[in-house]
Structure 1
Amino acid sequence: MAYKPEVDTEKCVGCGECVNVCPVDVYELQEEKAVVVNEEECIGCESCVEVCEQGAITVTEI
């Protein structure tokens, strides 16, 4: 199974929690926003979705 993680940059406040919680380093902070840098590594655990207080992250099965 493959997953597509996405960050809504309008909602993202750049807290970095998704970067810290992701076990496979899908995200990094760039220009004070989280960006997906390793989409193919996503395992669909949704830890990032759960930790994002802004609701800026979605993970979709593809």
Structure 2
Amino acid sequence: MSWNVTVDTEKCVGCGECVDVCPVEVYEMADGKSNPAHYEECLGCESCVEVCESNAITVEEN
């Protein structure tokens, strides 16, 4: 099963919580914003969605 991970850069405040909480290191910080650089590693646990206070992250099943 694969997951589509997106970050709305307009909403992202660059707190890095998603980077810290992701168990498989999907995210990297780039230009002060979260970037799902390794989205193919996503497990679909949605931990990142839960910690994102700006509601910038979406995880959807492909």
Compute the TM-score of the two structures, normalised by the length of structure 1: 0.98
Letter in 1 for 2:12: C
| Identity fraction in percent | 65
Deviations 1:35-54 (A, max 9, x none): 01101100000000000000
Long gaps (5+) in structure 2: none
Poorly superposed stretches of 4+, deviation over 4 Å: none
CA deviation after TM superposition for structure 1 residue 5, in Å:
0.8
Letter in 2 for 1:51: V
CA deviation after TM superposition for structure 1 residue 55, in Å:
0.2
Q: Considering only aligned residues, what root-mean-square deviation do their CA atoms show, in Å?
A: 0.4
Tell me if 1:38 matches 2:45.
no
Long gaps (5+) in structure 1: none
Letter in 2 for 1:3: W
